Amino acid sequence: MVRYIVTSALPYVQGIIHLGNLIGSILPADIYYKYLRMCGEDAIFICGSDEHGAAIELKAIKEKTTPEALAEGNHQQIKKLLEQYECTFTIYGRTHTEQNKGVVYEIFESLYRNGNITKVESELPYCNTDKRFISDRFIEGKCPVCGYVQARGDQCDSCGNLLEPKELIDPYCTICGKKDITFKKTTNLALDLVKLQPKIKEFIEASSTNGWSKNAVHHSLGYIKRGLRPREITRDLKYGFPVPLDGFKDKLFYVWFDAPIAYIGITKEWDAKKADDYWKGKDTRLVQFMGKDNIEPHTLIWPGILIGSNLGYILPRTIYAYEYLNWEGEKFSKSRGVGLDIREAIEILPADYWRFALASMLPQSADTDFTLESLKQAIDNDMNNVIGNFINRTLTLIKSNFEGSVPKGKLISEIGTQIEEKTAKYQVNFERIDIREALRSVVELAGVGNTLMSSTEPWKLAKSADPADREKMTDILYSCINIVYKLGILLHPFTPSASAEILKTFKSEAKMEFVDRILESGMKLDIEKVAPLFHKLTEEEINKIEQHSGKRVSR
Written as one string, the DSSP assignment of 492-552 is TTT-HHHHHHHHHTTGGG---S-----PPTT-B---SS---S--PPPHHHHHHHHHHHSSP
DSSP β-bridge partners for residue 183: 125
Domain assignments of the chain as residue spans, ordered by start: 3-116+192-322, 120-185, 385-555
| Best mean pLDDT range from 58-62, 177-181, 394-398 | 394-398
Question: Could you tell me which residues come within 8 angstroms of residue 273 by beta carbon, excluding any fewer than 6 positions away?
Answer: none
Contact 15, 297 (CB under 8 A): no
| Rounded Cα–Cα distance for residues 284 and 304 (Å) | 19
pTM recorded for the entire structure: 0.91
Quick one: which of 234, 264, 263 has its CA closest to 249?
234
Q: Which amino acid is at 532?
A: P
Task: Give CATH for domain 3-116+192-322.
Answer: 3.40.50.620
User: Could you give the dihedral angle defined by the CA atoms of residues 268, 432, 79 and 264, in that order, rounded to the nearest 10 degrees?
Assistant: 20
pLDDT(391) > 80: yes
Instruction: Work out the average pLDDT over 238-259.
Output: 94
pLDDT(327) > 90: no
For residue 159, what pLDDT is reported?
Answer: 87
Phi-psi region of 108 (alpha: psi -120 to 50; beta: other; left: phi over 0): alpha
Query: pLDDT digits over 508-540, tens only?
Result: 554 557 767 788 999 999 888 889 999 999 999
Question: Could you tell me which residues come within 8 angstroms of residue 24 by beta carbon, excluding any fewer than 6 positions away?
Answer: 9, 290, 291, 322, 324, 325, 363
Q: What pLDDT band is residue 338 in, cutting at 50, 70 and 90?
A: confident
Q: What pLDDT band is residue 376 in, cutting at 50, 70 and 90?
A: very high
According to CATH, the superfamily of the domain at 385-555 is: Isoleucyl-tRNA Synthetase; Domain 1 (1.10.730.10)
Q: What pLDDT band is residue 555 in, cutting at 50, 70 and 90?
A: very low
Indicate the burial class of 244 (C-beta count within 10 angstroms; 0-12, 13-18, 19 or more).
middle
Q: What pLDDT band is residue 552 in, cutting at 50, 70 and 90?
A: very low
Instruction: Work out the average pLDDT over 424-451.
Output: 97
Query: pLDDT digits over 181-222, tens only?
Result: 998 888 999 999 999 999 999 999 999 999 999 999 999 999
pLDDT(68) > 50: yes
Percentage of residues in the chain with pLDDT exceeding 90? 79
pLDDT(427) > 60: yes
Question: Could you tell me which residues come within 8 angstroms of residue 189 by beta carbon, excluding any fewer than 6 positions away?
Answer: 117, 118, 119, 120, 232, 233, 234, 243, 245, 248, 251
144: DSSP letter: T
For residue 514, what pLDDT is reported?
Answer: 72
Instruction: Work out the average pLDDT over 538-548.
Output: 89
| Rounded Cα–Cα distance for residues 391 and 284 (Å) | 39
Contact 158, 331 (CB under 8 A): yes
Q: How many residues does the chain have?
A: 555
For residue 57, what pLDDT is reported?
Answer: 85
380: DSSP letter: I
Instruction: Work out the average pLDDT over 306-317.
Output: 98
Looking at the domain 120-185, which fold is it?
A: Methionyl-trna Synthetase; domain 2 (2.170.220)
| Rounded Cα–Cα distance for residues 14 and 67 (Å) | 9
For residue 512, what pLDDT is reported?
Answer: 59
SS3 content of the chain, % helix, strand, coil (to 5): 50, 15, 35
| Rounded Cα–Cα distance for residues 479 and 126 (Å) | 71
Question: Could you tell me which residues come within 8 angstroms of residue 547 by beta carbon, excluding any fewer than 6 positions away?
Answer: none
Say whether 125 sits in a helix, a strand or coil.
strand
Q: What pLDDT band is residue 160 in, cutting at 50, 70 and 90?
A: confident
For residue 532, CA distances in Å to 230, 383, 390, 393 come to 58, 11, 10, 9
Q: What pLDDT band is residue 238 in, cutting at 50, 70 and 90?
A: confident
For residue 511, what pLDDT is reported?
Answer: 52
Question: Could you tell me which residues come within 8 angstroms of residue 397 by beta carbon, excluding any fewer than 6 positions away?
Answer: 458, 459, 462, 477, 480
For residue 58, what is the enclosing H or E element? helix 54-62
For residue 242, what pLDDT is reported?
Answer: 97
More confident residue, 463 or 552: 463
Instruction: Work out the average pLDDT over 76-97.
Output: 97
315: DSSP letter: P
Beta strand 3-8 with 42-49: parallel, antiparallel or unpaired?
parallel
Q: Kindly report the average pLDDT of the chain as a whole number.
A: 92
Helices (H), 351-495: 351-360, 372-376, 389-402, 413-431, 435-456, 458-461, 467-490
153-162, 190-199, 253-262, 444-453: least confident range: 153-162
Q: Which amino acid is at 244?
A: P
pLDDT(237) > 90: no
Quick one: which of 348, 387, 352 has its CA closest to 496?
352
Instruction: Work out the average pLDDT over 426-430.
Output: 96
